[in-house]
Amino acid sequence: MTSAHQPGHHSEVTLRVNGKPHTLRVDHRRVLLDLLREELDLTGSKKGCDHGQCGACTVLVDGRRVNSCLLLAVALDGSEITTVEGLGGDGDEPHPLQRAFLDRDALQCGYCTPGQLCSALGMLAEAAAGHPSHVTDPAAPSGPPVPLDRTEIRERMSGNLCRCGAYPRIVEAIEDVI
Amino acid sequence: MTGTTGTAPSKDHGTTGPTGTALGAPAERREGRQKVTGAARYAAEYALPGRAHAWPVPAAVARGRVTGVDTSAALALPGVLAVLTPGDAAGLAAPEDGTLAVLRSADVPHRGWCVALAVAETPETARAAARAVRVTYGTEAHHVDLTEDAPGGYEPDEVAGGPGRVEHGDPEAAFAAADVRVDVTYRVPPLHNHPMEPHATTAHWEGDRLTVYTSSQGGTTVRATLAQLFRLPEERITVVAEHVGGGFGSKGTPRPDVVLAALAARHTGRPVTLAYPRRLLPTVVGHRAPTVQRLRLGAGTDGRLTALLHEVTTHTSHVREFVEYAAVVSRVMYATPALLSTHRVVPLDVPSPSWMRAPGEAPGMYALESAVDELADALGTDPVELRVRNEPRREPGSGKPFSSRHVVECLREGARRFGWAGRDPRPGVRREGPLLVGTGVAAATYPFQVAPSTATAEARPDGTFVVRVNAADIGTGARTVLAQIAADALGVPLERVRTEVGHSDLPPAPLAGGSCGTASWGWAVHEACARLAAHPEEGPTVHADTTGEADADSPYARHAFGAHFAEVAVDTVTGEVRVRRLLGVFAAGRILNARTARSQFTGAMVMGLGMALTEHSTLDPAFGDFPESDLASYHVPVHADVPDIEADWLDEDDTHLNPMGSKGIGEIGIVGTAAALGNAVHHATGIRFRELPLTPDRILARLLCEG
């Protein structure tokens, strides 16, 4: 690529993506989402808005869920990235949450699905670590895992839009793996 | 009618339906595994060697002409390949659809119209280049305000395949003489489809052969349109739309992305991807046009309608006529001796409106079913009973008998499941602390539509079968349900049938729209498979074409019907409306896949919830387009807005439809939702809101004044 060789606007970073190291010379404007999609051909992470408004690009960075369209790749040197392609094990078996999405028909067009999956896994870890949400009882002690009822799941998943309206099925699928 | 099947266990992977055949089974969607693992590829995800990226430059004025385009700064950026400007498409044939006439001339018909296209090695560089393009304009005065008395309005000759105006009896006189009268005006703002996948195309020329990977609800039409525009025989064009990230009407016909990408690819000699930026979509892919709807209902004291007048004012662009045919529902729903259903459309300097899920029916039934609720109030009659009392024997607009109509059964079954009996009709009396609680009901209708299609069925030596049809799976589960139809017609287990869709090398087929996809493709699939089963000697491949059958006139009025029930809590402190329960019961012919059908019903109800409570767009009078152009400002429902939603159905046995006996199911779920919610808000608060959406600012202002 022509622009990839312009001096001064590129830097070398090393990322581990789904367990594999990648050393890349990245355009400073490049966000993680475009790096995954354009340079690693990991197109499972979707671009719905490119502005952090829809959640379709959600991936896990060092175990935490992020909108990958808002993270500049150059700032992620040394990070561990997990995308939807990396959720399943080494074999053919999908992750239990992926299986639950199929069982519950928690998808239609499928475009928000990778983001919903990654977001749900990040969310489950947050609740397990005791992070409160807007609907968590303020009087509850901080620290212990937050029990996830449907209100908690809905609140915590609200950064992931689904225009097909699969929300009720997505919530059921998440409940299946709690 | 058979029993309800909508609550079939959602974890059942079953491949046989209630009658032991594949039809009706809750079969798991076949592409699901690809979608949950990230393997499913969408239009922008075909990384062809040497692929470049394009970025549009939107017009910054609402009406005028481009007087100059300075591309020097853009072209000076490293990695920029080209900037296409007005006139670069002058060599193409003139499109039938004016929204595709991009870069043909310097005219600017509305703000956001594409006036230049930057092409570069990377998306970042294309974006920077688009921003570096300097466009100058000659501007003219513009008008984007829709009012009932806006000048230039006219009554369209035709809407939705019928007349713009239907009038029976003497509606004005009948209304004036009615014992009980309701005269109300409802307003629905512009609404945006916003499928999660933006409109995108990857285009690639090899000599004079063009391949496009595009996000479309109908690849056959894309190919025909490109052939006409680029003056190519259709066989030199390949259109691939294997996975489509939603459309809801906005991808029903080709949109500018496919023309621009093909143009840019030819101009640069490189494969080009154009993924339209989210914020620019509302101006170029169509929107639901705003409507101002005057409803006049006259009734006797017995609750029977004596007059129904439904007058719709809406806008269209100067690019082409599109009429949001909201008054058509009044030709279908209720018995009345005097009927007026008419439209007035005003061309303005606005972006072109187009189809959005249940165009016409969704806003029309919001207004009609809200007005019926007002009539029930005025009469002191239960709103379910009032609807039952006005059930027509024949379709009011046409006089045709219905092929099947079970709206009363849907209302009764819904009322039973919802616990409607014994409802206290008094509004504004159910307090729970700061909350006011209420329930509402509305009916729903959506026409049965079907179009000719072709398909092939092939018997393979290993005992399996392949069904081929250029259908589009936009999230409906088309692959799955077509395999079920095929398995049933062939008399073989579902596992032995493979479906191929989404490629223009496959037999031509109509679009996934108007809730007619499965009905149309399925008819051709059924015919091919039934012939192959009856006459294996015609094989191994049998071709079917339903032209002449599927488009034959029917002596019947054919529609799906339904009933929606809603419970809301209105916060008197914040003005927020929260949905507690939402139930839809539908009668839509035979349901072909219990699992994917339920998802479509409930999904459309979620979109109806958005229409009622959160989705709001406006046309800025100064700038001329939509300030609510992205997903931070245009609020589609999120997880936290959506409670447990229940959808169920009554199976109908209707032999006047197609060999499967199926009506469409993709749209009816949205149709009555907004009215049911609005009626529930009235029941909760005692205040009648007649403009959507029911946002806290509007609710609170009137609660403080009138509550």
pLDDT tens column, B484-542: 999 999 999 999 999 999 999 999 999 999 999 999 999 999 999 999 999 999 989 99
**Residue B272 falls inside a structural domain:** yes
Torsion of CA B8, B13, B19, B22, to 10 degrees: 140
Measured over the CA atoms of residue B113, residue B118, residue B124 and residue B129, the dihedral's sign is negative
Task: Flag whether pLDDT at A178 surpasses 80.
Answer: yes
Model confidence at B151, pLDDT cuts 50, 70, 90, reads: confident
Task: Flag whether pLDDT at A8 surpasses 70.
Answer: no
Task: Flag whether pLDDT at B250 surpasses 70.
Answer: yes
**Residue B220 falls inside a structural domain:** yes
Task: Flag whether pLDDT at B703 surpasses 90.
Answer: yes
> H or E stretch including B133?
none
pLDDT number for residue B18:
66
Share of chain B above pLDDT 90, in %: 95
Task: Flag whether pLDDT at B376 surpasses 90.
Answer: yes
* pLDDT per residue as tens digits for the range B43-94: 999 999 999 999 999 999 999 999 999 999 999 999 999 999 999 999 999 9
Phi-psi region of A65 (alpha: psi -120 to 50; beta: other; left: phi over 0): beta
Burial of B480 (0-12, 13-18, 19+ CB in 10 A): buried
* pLDDT per residue as tens digits for the range B310-365: 999 999 999 999 999 999 999 999 999 999 999 999 999 999 999 999 999 999 99
Name the residue in chain A with its Cα closest to that of B476: A108
Q: For residues B443 and B368, is the Cβ–Cβ distance under 8 A?
A: no
Inter-chain CB proximity A53 and B630 less than 8 Å:
yes
Task: Flag whether pLDDT at B603 surpasses 50.
Answer: yes
Inter-chain CB proximity B122 and A94 less than 8 Å:
no
Q: What is the pTM of this model?
A: 0.97
B279 three-class SS: helix
Inter-chain CB proximity A94 and B246 less than 8 Å:
no
Question: How far is it, in rounded angstroms, from Cα B538 to Cα A87?
Answer: 47
Name the residue in chain B with its Cα closest to that of A86: B37
DSSP assignment letter at B455 = E
Inter-chain CB proximity B79 and A1 less than 8 Å:
yes
Name the residue facing A158 among B29, B39, B639 (closest C-beta). B639
Model confidence at B205, pLDDT cuts 50, 70, 90, reads: very high
Taking the Cβ of residue B622 and every Cβ of chain A, the question of whether any pair is shorter than 8 Å is answered with no
Torsion angles phi and psi, residue B195, rounded to 5: -60, 155
- B27-33: average pLDDT: 96
Model confidence at A2, pLDDT cuts 50, 70, 90, reads: very low
Interhelix angle B696-706/B673-685, nearest 10 degrees: 30
- Is 1.10.150.120 the CATH classification of the domain at A96-177? yes
Name the residue facing B632 among A53, A150, A170 (closest C-beta). A53
CA distance, residue A133 to nearest chain B CA (Å): 12
CATH of residue B253? 3.30.365.10
Interhelix angle A96-104/A113-128, nearest 10 degrees: 120
Q: For residues B285 and B192, is the Cβ–Cβ distance under 8 A?
A: no
| CATH number listed for the domain at residues A2-86 | 3.10.20.30
Name the residue facing A108 among B194, B599, B605 (closest C-beta). B599
**Residue B622 falls inside a structural domain:** no
Instruction: List Cβ neighbours of B141 (8 Å cut-off, separation of 6 or more).
Output: B63
Could you give the angle at the alpha carbon of B556 between the alpha carbons of B551 and B562, nearest 5°? 105
**Residue B617 falls inside a structural domain:** no
Could you confirm whether B311 is annotated as catalytic?
A: no
Chain A residues within 8 A of B275 when measuring between CB atoms: 47
**Residue B581 falls inside a structural domain:** no
pLDDT number for residue B19:
67
pLDDT number for residue B50:
97
Model confidence at B20, pLDDT cuts 50, 70, 90, reads: low
**Residue B261 falls inside a structural domain:** yes
The number of folded domains in chain B is 1
Taking the Cβ of residue B9 and every Cβ of chain A, the question of whether any pair is shorter than 8 Å is answered with no
Q: Tell me, what's the ipTM?
A: 0.96
B507 three-class SS: coil
pLDDT number for residue B9:
38
Chain A residues within 8 A of B602 when measuring between CB atoms: 165, 168-169
pLDDT number for residue A7:
52
Model confidence at B707, pLDDT cuts 50, 70, 90, reads: low
Taking the Cβ of residue B600 and every Cβ of chain A, the question of whether any pair is shorter than 8 Å is answered with yes
Catalytic residue of the set B628, B667, B691, B706? B667
* pLDDT per residue as tens digits for the range B397-440: 999 999 999 999 999 999 999 999 999 999 999 999 999 999 99
Chain A residues within 8 A of B78 when measuring between CB atoms: 2-3, 6
Q: Which of residues 42-81 of A touch B (CB under 8 A)?
A: 42-51, 53-54, 56
* Range ranked top by mean pLDDT from A87-91, A167-171, B7-11: A167-171
Name the residue in chain B with its Cα closest to that of A100: B11
User: Domain range holding B117?
Assistant: 44-141+199-276
Delimiting residues of CATH 3.10.20.30 domain(s) in chain A:
2-86
Mode of pairing for the β-strands spanning B162-163 and B158-159: antiparallel
Q: How many CB atoms lie within 10 A of CB B49?
A: 7
CA distance, residue A57 to nearest chain B CA (Å): 11
Q: Please confirm whether the linkage preceding B540 is cis (ω < 30° from 0).
A: yes
Burial of A147 (0-12, 13-18, 19+ CB in 10 A): exposed
